[in-house]
Amino acid sequence: MYAPMSSQAVDFLFAFLPMAAFVIVLIVVYYGKRSEPGVAAPHTKTYACAQCGRRGKHEHMVPITREGAVVWYCGHCAHAAK
């Protein structure tokens, strides 16, 4: 027959084992989520045309330097501004 458990063993089981199991679960979840690819936010910075106010992406705007400042124009207004 098995020997009865001491009160110290029961205290250890009910006090420290749940905390240890919780920490192990947290570590497993952390490493599992860390390896997942994240959703990258798209680059959404836009520029406003200095003449008409139309907003556009960086690739669609024309920079014109005036008195040391860079002014952004859309394709339609860039020809008139030069």
pTM for the full model? 0.42
**47-75: per-residue pLDDT in tens?**
888 889 888 888 888 888 888 888 888 88
Is the model's pLDDT at 79 over the cut of 80? Answer: no
**18-42: per-residue pLDDT in tens?**
999 999 999 999 988 887 776 665 6
Those residues with Cβ within 8 angstroms of residue 51's Cβ, 6 or more apart along the chain or in another chain:
73, 74, 77, 80, 81
- Domain ranges across the chain: 47-81
Task: Work out the burial of residue 5: count CB atoms within 10 Å of its CB; fewer than 13 is exposed, 13-18 middle, 19 or more buried.
Answer: exposed
